[in-house]
Copies of this chain bind each other. A is one copy, B any other.
Amino acid sequence: MLKIDSHTHILPKKLPNWSEKFGYGDFIYLQHHKKGYAKMMRGNQFFREIKENAWNPDLRIKEYEKFHTQVQVVCTIPVMFSYWARPLDCLELSKYLNDHLADLLVKHPKHYLGLATIPMQDTELAIQELERCKQIGLQGVQIGSNVNDLNLNEERFFPIFEACEKLSMAVLVHPWNMMGEKNMQRYWLPWLVGMPAETSRAICSMIFGGVFERLPKLRVNFAHAGGSFLPTLGRIQHGFDCRPDLVAIDNNVSPRNYLKHFWVDSATHDPMMLEYVIKLIGSEKITLGTDYPFPLGDLEIGKFIEEMGLEKNVVENIFYRSALEWLNVPLERFS
C-alpha cells in the first residue's frame, strides 16, 4: 500500500550565515560539529541538535523503507520561518529553502513532495513567493499557527489564503511561537502544552474569522491531529452557541459545520484519540503525518495505525488518499 507521510521536516545541509549577511538578527545557522550531526544555532544560542536524516534525502528514503513508506511531504522547520525579519531578508531566506525543496522534488519525484515557506509578515511578498513556488513545482506552503502573535483571521493574511486557493496550493498550519512559552520552560511544556493550544488557536481563528467560509476550496491541513481543537470542540461549539456576541462576530456559521473543510494529520501518538478523530471528521480528512525526523515525532511512520485493526479503506484513506486529495496530486505520480 502506498504510504505518504504528510508532515516531515527537512533542511539543506548548508545554510548561509544570514545574520552576518543581513547584519542583524538571530537567524538559524548550522554547525556540523561531528559526522552525522549538526547543531542548529540561533545567534550564539544552541537551539537543537539534528541528525543527518534532517538533511540527507537518500538516508531519509532508506529510513522510510523500513516502514514501507514511499513518499515524504517535506517542509522546513518552523524556527526557520523568520517572520520577525525584514520582509525582503525573509524572502531571500525563503527562496533559498524553497529552491532546495524544488531541486529535491526534481531529483526524487517518487519520494518527495514539498511545501514552501513564505514571508507572512509581508502580504505582497508572500504572494509573490507563493506564485514562484507554484512555478517551481511545490505542492503547497507551510505557515505558522500565528505570525508574530497575529492570528490567522487577520485581514492582512486573507489575500495569501486567497492566492493559495486560486493557485491550488495546499496549506499546512504548524504550531510555533507558542503561547505561554516563557512561563513554562520546564518539562518541555511549550511543546507538550503550548503546541496543541497553538493549533487550536489557528483553527478557531480561521473558522471564526470566516476564512473557510469565504474560501471554500482552500485546502488546509493542521499538524498534530489539529492539536487540542477537535477534543475541545464541545467547549468551543458551546462557546459559539452561548456567546455569539463574542464568538460569532465575523462569521455566524457554526464551527461544527467546518469539520469536513480541513484535514488534520494522524500524529496523536495514541490509538484511542485517533479513533475519536476518525469518528469525528472521518478518515478521508486524516493524513498520515509524523513530524519526522524529530524525537517528538511518530518515528515508526504510522505503525500504531497499522496495529489498530482499522478497515482497509480507512487505513488507505489515512495512508495516502487523504494526502493526495489535500495536495491535489494524482495517484499516478507514484505508480
Q: Which residues of A contact B (CB under 8 A)?
A: 146, 149-151, 153, 179-180, 183-184, 186-189, 191-197, 200-201, 204-205, 208-209, 224, 227-228, 230-239, 242-243, 246-247, 249-250, 267-270, 272-273, 276, 279-280, 295-296
For residue A304, which residue of chain B has the nearest CB?
B234
Q: Is the interface of A mostly helix, strand, loop or mixed?
A: helix
A155 to chain B, nearest CB (A): 12
Q: Are A184 and B196 in contact (CB under 8 A)?
A: no
> Which of B196, B242, B270 touches A296 (beta carbons < 8 Å)?
B242
For residue A196, which residue of chain B has the nearest CB?
B232
Point out the residues of chain B lying under 8 angstroms from A295, CB to CB. Answer: 242-243
Some 13 contacts from A to B, beta carbons below 8 A apart, are A149-B183, A179-B180, A184-B205, A187-B205, A188-B247, A189-B205, A192-B232, A192-B239, A230-B231, A231-B232, A232-B273, A235-B296, A243-B296
> Which of B183, B232, B246, B276 touches A228 (beta carbons < 8 Å)?
B232
**With known contacts A179-B180, A234-B270, A247–B197 Cβ distance under 8 A:** no
Q: Are A201 and B228 in contact (CB under 8 A)?
A: no
Q: Are A234 and B269 in contact (CB under 8 A)?
A: yes
Q: Are A269 and B237 in contact (CB under 8 A)?
A: yes
